[in-house]
Amino acid sequence: MPVDIAPFQARRARLLATMQAAGGGVAVIPTSPERHRNRDTTYAYRFDSYFYYLTAFREPEAVLVLVAGDTPRSILFCRTKDVEREIWDGYRFGPDAARDAFGFDEARPIDELDEQLGQLLANQPAVFHSIGYEPEWDRRIADALNRVRAQARTGAHAPAQIRDVRSLIDDMRLIKDASEIATMRRAAEISAGAHIRAMRAARPGVFEYEVEAELIHEFRRHGSQAPAYSSIVATGPNACVLHYVENDRQLADGDLLLIDAGCELDGYASDITRSFPVNGRFSGPQKAVYELVLAAQAAAIAEIRPGASWNAGHDAAVRVLAQGYLDLGLLTGSLDGAIESGSYRQFYMHRTGHWLGLDVHDAGEYKLAGEWRNLEAGNVLTVEPGTYIRPAEGVPEAFWNIGIRIEDDALVTDTGCDIITHATPKSVADIEAIMAAR
């Protein structure tokens, strides 16, 4: 499928301008290597997010080099055309076709990279790369710098600075452009349909992995390349395990089922969680806790707007949840006391959201100079309060093994926010209506 390369070219130009403003230099940004699963079998390939953000190029064995200076340049190093390998592994662009298809100034064979790096880094003020991200790349950059230093008697000098290119790209990735937002909306739409399909498939006697299969089926049949992360399909006590991924328990009458799943579409993640009763009807305690988590999410969403503190939504959710635990008899004392002591963390122990984009836990700092950063139009974040009630002394048995999380994806707009996963049912009435129609 043809790729609109304009957004990727614009990102490269913006990064080059940022590098130039910092004094200039050369950025070296590799994609991910192929990873062996066992013996001669590799895992399904997934490109590096930083590399893809700037290139749209999905093949392994590729490196982007950006040269900031009076004449900025973008150079792709990639695999050469090889008819025999294409018979085994599929189509590859080769340098010439990749240059034209993806809008690079130059493209060269990947086998020339190490030799070329020494020349490209000579007499540059700085090298920008992902320091500490891949030890192999730290070594290759060091080797290239040493090759430049070995030419000192010819007048060449190595870059005096080594800077982390991720810090520059992270700030760019925090603000989604129109093409990113369109892709994320479509990913959210696909994932919403998958959650509805899962609700219709879930019933006593079915296994968690059968429900997971329904999710994957819906992802793939609408063009998603893969789940954005390992799907959590957790029933009964498993719903109280935050990162449960075994997905092998049988659904039982009276249990809740927590599903945390989202598809990846063209590199971009969606992330949705819904919790609902296996038999289609919430019990009294289940409904009370569910409505509490839903109210906490509404309070957090109300805080999402440009200029608001990142942490405002979390603080709002915590106050609603802590008061609810007091009202339900799960905690004793005062609201302020429960928050100050942290006693509410017995039932709610994680944050209320995270950045979302090319990575499900996307790039970008949450604090600047020690203070929570403010939201900006174009940010995309999740909103995911939850409550997890394990059997414990002092906890009424009627609430044991109730695990509920409700998660949506929010795009910060000029005036507030847009819940792009809104098509996923989450009111008690809507969920029960869908399940009654199974």
Instruction: Report which of 175, 229, 170 is spatially closest to residue 375, judged by C-alpha positions.
Output: 175
Q: Among this protein's residues, is 373 annotated catalytic?
A: no
Q: How far is CA 249 from the centre of its chain?
A: 27
Instruction: Report which of 297, 243, 272, 415 is spatially closest to residue 356, judged by C-alpha positions.
Output: 272
Q: Among this protein's residues, is 157 annotated catalytic?
A: no
Strands 25-30 and 36-38: unpaired
Q: Among this protein's residues, is 271 annotated catalytic?
A: yes
Supply the Cα-derived Rg of the chain in whole angstroms. Answer: 25
Helix (H, G, I), strand (E, B) or coil at 296: helix
Q: Among this protein's residues, is 217 annotated catalytic?
A: no
Q: Among this protein's residues, is 336 annotated catalytic?
A: no
**Active-site residue among 186, 388, 409, 432?**
388
Q: Among this protein's residues, is 388 annotated catalytic?
A: yes
Q: Among this protein's residues, is 45 annotated catalytic?
A: no
**Active-site residue among 260, 303, 362, 432?**
260
Q: Among this protein's residues, is 354 annotated catalytic?
A: yes
**Active-site residue among 405, 408, 409, 432?**
405
Q: Among this protein's residues, is 361 annotated catalytic?
A: yes
Which whole-number Å values give the CA distances from 85 to 79, 81, 92, 112, 362, in the listed order? 11, 9, 9, 19, 34
Residue 129 · residue 27 · CB < 8 Å: yes
Tell me how far apart the alpha carbons of residues 58 and 110 are, in angstroms, rounded to a whole number. Answer: 15
Instruction: Report which of 382, 7, 406, 422 is spatially closest to residue 183, judged by C-alpha positions.
Output: 7
How many Cβ atoms are within 10 Å of 60's Cβ, its own excluded?
21
DSSP lists the bridge partners of residue 204 as: none
**Active-site residue among 361, 365, 371, 430?**
361
Instruction: Report which of 162, 180, 140 is spatially closest to residue 54, judged by C-alpha positions.
Output: 180
**Active-site residue among 153, 243, 393, 414?**
243
Tell me how far apart the alpha carbons of residues 204 and 207 are, in angstroms, rounded to a whole number. Answer: 8
Question: Which residues contact residue 360 at a Cβ distance below 8 angstroms, ignoring those fewer than 6 apart?
Answer: 228, 229, 262, 269, 271, 354
Tell me how far apart the alpha carbons of residues 36 and 43 are, in angstroms, rounded to a whole number. Answer: 6
Q: Which residues are catalytic?
A: 40, 243, 260, 271, 350, 354, 361, 384, 388, 405, 407
